[in-house]
Amino acid sequence: MAEKIAFIGLGNMGLPMAGNLMKAGFDVTGFDLAPNAEAAAAAQGVKFAASAAAAVEHANVVITMLPAGKHVLSVWGELTQVARPGTLFIDSSTIDVESARKAHQLGTGMGMLTLDAPVSGGTMGAAAATLTFMVGGSAAAFAKGEAVLQKMGKRLVHCGDAGAGQAAKICNNMILGISMAGVAEAFVLGERLGLSHQALFDVASTSSGQCWALTTNCPVPGPVPASPANRDYKPGFATALMLKDLRLAQEAAISAGASSPMGAQAAALYSIFEKLGHGGEDFSAIINFFRGAEGK
């Protein structure tokens, strides 16, 4: 018998994820507060409930994809009151580690199994079911959730206990934000020195400068045809979301007493770029900030 899944949060990431679960044969009922959510869910074949509580009523797996920790805690606080004991709660939002751990405590305190399972791969990965899930929680919860998560992604990593998935996500994205800033700076320097984009890419992509920000999400058009730079920086992974993750990393660094000067600098750069009105562009568009008056 197929799992009955409640999916709360049918936005740019949640909706295609729910749709992939439907395609895999799961019985999915969704809910979202957005005005057009019901019509969007119908287009994906996802049933739509009158409320989050109604979606959860008969579910044995509940997945949330929400904007911030306060939303996760509010929704889990409500839904753990109405779900059946033993229900698996999976949060795939990207939130602060402290809130993730509190969500686990809410769930386990009510007799639920719980996982924090943030994702990497962006909207394209959500649509193609090629996401990477970084998972925190007990071995028993991971064993129950593995088959469900596999239908939305291509790689699952059980990172440890409660909150470990969120910790891995923010550390990974701090690396990404720092490396994209470095790649963008290098291409601007190359432009000023008369190097073609292709020449710099051909050298760096096969030398010690090689990284994901260069070879997959190259910030200039041409060398990597699939990169957002070839689509006028349509995300992808938006600048506003990168800034959110960099800020989460800085909050975690302060809380843990960890030194993070490069992460702090990346957060400052993306904060300025977002304030200049570029929050909806792919985070690789930061190259235009480094170009200054000669930019976009």
Sign for the pseudo-dihedral over CA of 47, 52, 56, 57: negative
Q: At what angle do helices 97-109 and 69-79 cross, to 10 degrees?
A: 0
Out of 4, 102, 169, 244, the active site residue is 169
Q: Is 169 a catalytic residue?
A: yes
CA–CA separation, 61 and 92 (whole Å): 13
Distance of CA 240 to the CA centre of its chain: 12
Instruction: Tell me the β-bridge partners of 29.
Output: 6, 47
CA–CA dist 18, 127 (Å, integer):
10
Strands 27-31 and 131-137: unpaired
113-116 vs 119-120, strand pairing mode: unpaired
Give the β-pairing of 113-116 and 131-137: antiparallel
Q: Which pair of structure tokens corresponds to residue 279?
A: 């929050």
Catalogue the active-site residues: 169
